[in-house]
Structure 1
Amino acid sequence: MTARWGLLLVNLGTPDAPETAPVRKYLDEFLSDPRVIDIAAWKRWLLLNLIILRTRPKESAEAYQSVWTERGSPLLFHGQDLAAGVQELLGEEVKVVLAMRYQTPSIEAGLAELRAAGIDHVVALPLYPQYASSSTGSTVEKLYAEAGKHVDVFTLSVVPAFYDHPAFVGAFAEVARPVLAEAKPDKVLFSFHGLPERHLRSGEVCGRACFQPGCCDSIRKENRTCYKAQSYATARALAAALELPEDGWEVAFQSRLGRDPWITPYTDHRINELPEEGVKKLAVLVPSFVADCLETIEEIGIRGRDDFKEHGGEELTLVPSLNAHPAWVEAVAKIARQYAPSPEAS
């Protein structure tokens, strides 16, 4: 049976190896993206080549070594497992392919594989729950650029941010529930990847409303594409699904880079402060990622845990990401089907 449509799962990317040269190559491609470091091209080049790429690749390579396994990068092999699980669930009518925005397997290669299979309708699912120009926006731009290189451009449907989709929330809650039951934390911290504040202020939809009192209390017309507002919406939905008390959870933002102001509160600051506030057992969920990676395993599970204990905490529990959990496999299939062509259209 020939596949009727294609599903391209796209995550951000990972180095090919936990060594300085491959990490430098990855960072060079990633940080050269004008949607990631959104400054003048010449300033970005100087920043990268005179400062960041001189020291950070070695430091990051050491961090990657702490999370690398016999199967390689967790982000990559969890993605491969997810693609295989979704393929098995959806069956022969769909061809499922994994791609990365940066490095390998590339979006170009993924689309070429689907084209070679004779598919002319592709559903692209960027695996970022919340919208950000530096992740979703960059991926969508790349998807259309690569698809548009051909004379015959196939139909491309892009799945939007799924930050509050019941299937996503339900899957994450299913993963977290038994972990929290065993850990019995005093507080749950929902940690999201951070962004420079200027990324939010420059937004065409929410720029003026951002950082005003109550701006993230609900999703409205003026903040519907705001990363921070979507992050808080995810946290509220997960807290409700997990039946957490109002004073039993909070939100923070991690992984900041450089000296510019980033979204606050900062995760590393809150991890250090919470023991002084009486929190001895802390559980951390990172629902801006759907697969465990450097930012979850090393930043939270290793460095974060050490910092928490150094400041008087007893135990920090990192709740695993969705990875290829059966509930997430089912959720991805369900979300993708909503954007698939109808049988009559094939």
Structure 2
Amino acid sequence: MYDSWEEDLKNNVGATKLMVIPMFPQYSESTIASGVDALAKELSKRVKIPTFEVITNFHRTHAFIDNSVTQVDAKVEELKKEGIDIDKLVISFHGMQKRRVVFKGDDYYRHCYETYRLIVDRLKHLKPEQAVMTFQSRFGSEEWITPYTEDTVEKLIEEGNKELMVYSPSFVADCLETTDELGHELAEEAKEWGGNVYPVECLNTNEQWCKDFAKYVMTQAEGSAQDKEDIEYQLKAEDYDHMPKLVMNQS
């Protein structure tokens, strides 16, 4: 693609600006920043480079939040038709080492909370108090962001919440690791604990999501500063009052 762009430049028909949107809704050093590093490495090999812009997150956009809400609500309706009433919604984000947030100031945890807050406050069929925010996919002995999804699900079932739904808005397309971890491993463990876990699919190729995201991209490319502000939900200071503070375990 880059080679063809350079060829177009010679013919005075090449694009003059490159916009990069990593397909991770929330920013984190381990995903977005590493992607920017890869882009910079590629550009360093070139003589001519375009003006470029990197969109580092899109978790507060109407496109992402509204379609996530629709996806969750649709699953609740589907299960209700089968005679299943959901007790709790577990919104599970991909994990990260806690030190990245506490010591390095990575925005990932805040972005996850914003995503969680914006989704649960807009659901039609579940109340905000029926939702919990958790983190999955940890490994090694290092402390990761809590609460952990597996531990939370086990506790919820012990407390009598037998029918649980889980949604992972860290991705907009299926991640095999997450699909297996939540859709298979966690679901099997939940049955052993006496409950059920019903995964909500990623947005994937949902037609409305694709259309809305395309509009978002066009607004980022050609819209005014006000247009770009209008396509995102804004949070107020009080919206963060209940965001749990992350503290490193001193033990």
Q: Same fold (TM over 0.5)?
A: yes
One-letter identity of the residue aligned with 1:231? C
- Matched with 1:222 is none
Taking every aligned residue pair, what percent have the same amino acid on both sides?
Answer: 34
Cα deviations by residue, 1:130-170 (Å, 9 ceiling, x for unpaired): 11000011111211221232111112121121111111101
1:240 to 100, 113, 121: 121
Deviation of 1:126 after TM superposition, in Å, equals: 0.5
- Matched with 1:229 is 110
- Matched with 1:37 is none
2:51 to 144, 155, 162: 155
SS at match of 2:121: helix
SS at match of 2:21: strand
Counterpart check, 1:139 vs 2:20: no
Take 1:280 and 1:154, find their aligned partners in 2: how far apart are those partners? 54
Gaps of at least 5 residues in structure 1 are 1-109, 208-224
Counterpart check, 1:276 vs 2:158: yes
- Matched with 1:202 is 103
Take 1:302 and 1:116, find their aligned partners in 2: how far apart are those partners? 48
- Matched with 1:50 is none
Cα deviations by residue, 1:304-340 (Å, 9 ceiling, x for unpaired): 1001110110x21100001011122123212211231
Deviation of 1:273 after TM superposition, in Å, equals: 1.9
One-letter identity of the residue aligned with 2:73? R
Asked if the contact 1:191–1:267 (Cα under 8 Å) also holds between the matched residues in 2, the reply is yes
Asked if the contact 1:169–1:238 (Cα under 8 Å) also holds between the matched residues in 2, the reply is yes
Cα deviations by residue, 1:158-189 (Å, 9 ceiling, x for unpaired): 11211111111011122222111122311000
Deviation of 1:112 after TM superposition, in Å, equals: 4.4
TM-score normalized with structure 2 length: 0.79
2:214 to 333, 337, 341: 333
TM-score normalized with structure 1 length: 0.58
- Matched with 2:170 is 288
One-letter identity of the residue aligned with 1:298? D
Deviation of 1:246 after TM superposition, in Å, equals: 2.9
Asked if the contact 2:166–2:197 (Cα under 8 Å) also holds between the matched residues in 1, the reply is yes
Asked if the contact 1:111–1:147 (Cα under 8 Å) also holds between the matched residues in 2, the reply is no
Take 1:128 and 1:256, find their aligned partners in 2: how far apart are those partners? 18
Deviation of 1:128 after TM superposition, in Å, equals: 0.7
Take 1:251 and 1:114, find their aligned partners in 2: how far apart are those partners? 43
CA RMSD between the two structures: 1.8
1:317 to 172, 177, 198: 198
SS at match of 1:340: helix
- Matched with 2:240 is none
SS at match of 1:128: coil
Take 2:152 and 2:4, find their aligned partners in 1: how far apart are those partners? 45
Asked if the contact 1:271–1:307 (Cα under 8 Å) also holds between the matched residues in 2, the reply is no
- Matched with 1:305 is 187
Counterpart check, 1:192 vs 2:83: no
Q: Indicate the larger mover: 174-183 or 275-284.
A: 174-183
One-letter identity of the residue aligned with 1:190? I
One-letter identity of the residue aligned with 2:52? L
Take 2:6 and 2:211, find their aligned partners in 1: how far apart are those partners? 25
Take 1:145 and 1:338, find their aligned partners in 2: how far apart are those partners? 28
Q: Indicate the larger mover: 285-294 or 172-181.
A: 172-181
- Matched with 2:234 is none
Asked if the contact 1:174–1:327 (Cα under 8 Å) also holds between the matched residues in 2, the reply is no
- Matched with 1:122 is 18
Take 1:113 and 1:289, find their aligned partners in 2: how far apart are those partners? 30
Asked if the contact 2:137–2:178 (Cα under 8 Å) also holds between the matched residues in 1, the reply is no
Asked if the contact 2:59–2:115 (Cα under 8 Å) also holds between the matched residues in 1, the reply is yes
Take 1:174 and 1:114, find their aligned partners in 2: how far apart are those partners? 38
CA distance change for structure 1 residues 321 and 115 in 2, over 3 Å: closer, same or farther?
farther
CA distance change for structure 1 residues 146 and 186 in 2, over 3 Å: closer, same or farther?
same
- Matched with 1:22 is none
Take 1:115 and 1:283, find their aligned partners in 2: how far apart are those partners? 49
Asked if the contact 1:159–1:336 (Cα under 8 Å) also holds between the matched residues in 2, the reply is no
CA distance change for structure 1 residues 111 and 256 in 2, over 3 Å: closer, same or farther?
farther
Asked if the contact 1:196–1:260 (Cα under 8 Å) also holds between the matched residues in 2, the reply is yes
Cα deviations by residue, 1:238-297 (Å, 9 ceiling, x for unpaired): 111214323200000000021000000001111222210111110000001111122332
